[in-house]
């Protein structure tokens, strides 16, 4: 089945293609579709639904959308839904000109903000988690939603960043039980435990069961 992925992020397309090998994953730019909906939601779920519905209105075919980000406990869950454009606490939605800063700068901001919060005595741990809210949108009255997390912690300093795999905050997201950052995992290892991997497997199982039942009732 051909599934449209509501993103312009090639890294997400690669990961989702690995998770849905039996389906053809297409992103809007593959077909010259201008797609940049305004994400006005206050939660991961709301933003994933906005993207899914917006693309479905254009293609009228199954759409997979996710909204994901990193949530630091010492920052009360920030940067959260603003992870992709995080520019420090004063600019959660990105720089004043709307531009995204380089990822390494975002990583530095996050580490420093957590360090400052711990130094203030408000929090003692560097724990954090990735969240992924995923929507499979097959029509206005037919959609599936799941949300999953991957638990870990943020390294103490940018010099502790490791790994060339993954993307985003992966080099500074440490997994104590594995002794590695998310960026040091192979694609197979990451997909097995990641927020997006778990959400993808669950939503695929739900959708396949639904389609099977629908076929029986046809």
Is residue 34 annotated as part of the catalytic site, yes or no? Answer: no
Q: By the 8 A CB rule, do 194 and 130 touch?
A: yes
For helices 10-19 and 195-217, the axis angle rounded to 10 degrees is 50
C-alpha to C-alpha distance for 201 and 143, rounded to whole angstroms: 16
Q: By the 8 A CB rule, do 22 and 61 touch?
A: no
List residues forming the annotated binding site for substrate.
7-12, 68, 167-170, 190, 195-196
Q: By the 8 A CB rule, do 55 and 28 touch?
A: yes
C-alpha to C-alpha distance for 149 and 157, rounded to whole angstroms: 23
C-alpha to C-alpha distance for 169 and 83, rounded to whole angstroms: 9
C-alpha to C-alpha distance for 174 and 155, rounded to whole angstroms: 6
- Tokens 């991961």 locate to 44
List residues forming the annotated binding site for Mg(2+).
38, 67
List residues forming the annotated binding site.
7-12, 38, 67-68, 167-170, 190, 195-196
Question: Residue 75 burial by CB count (10 A; 0-12/13-18/19+): exposed, middle or buried?
Answer: buried
Catalytic residue among 30, 66, 67, 213, which?
67
DSSP annotation string for 108-125? HHHHHHHHHHHHTTS---
What are the backbone angles phi and psi of residue 104, rounded to the nearest 5°? Answer: -60, -35
Active site residues: 67
């Amino acid at each position: 089945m051909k599934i449209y992925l509501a993103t312009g992020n090639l890294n997400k397309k690669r990961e989702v293609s690995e998770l849905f090998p039996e389906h053809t994953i297409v992103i809007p730019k593959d077909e010259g579709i201008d797609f940049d909906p305004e994400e006005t939601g206050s939660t991961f779920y709301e933003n994933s639904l906005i993207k899914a519905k917006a693309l479905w209105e254009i293609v009228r075919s199954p759409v997979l959308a996710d909204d994901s980000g990193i949530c630091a406990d010492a920052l009360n869950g920030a940067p959260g839904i603003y992870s992709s454009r995080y520019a420090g606490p004063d600019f959660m939605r990105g720089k004043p000109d709307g531009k995204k800063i380089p990822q390494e700068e975002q990583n530095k901001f996050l580490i420093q903000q957590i360090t400052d919060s711990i130094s203030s005595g408000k929090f003692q741990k560097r724990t954090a988690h990735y969240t992924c809210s995923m929507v499979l949108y097959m029509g206005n009255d037919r959609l599936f939603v799941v949300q999953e997390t991957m638990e870990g912690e943020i390294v103490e300093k940018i010099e502790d960043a490791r790994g060339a795999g993954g993307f985003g905050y992966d080099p500074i997201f440490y997994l104590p039980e594995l002794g590695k950052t998310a960026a040091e995992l192979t694609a197979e290892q990451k997909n097995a435990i990641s927020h997006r991997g778990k959400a993808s497997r669950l939503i695929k199982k739900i959708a396949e069961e639904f389609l099977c039942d629908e076929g029986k009732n046809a």
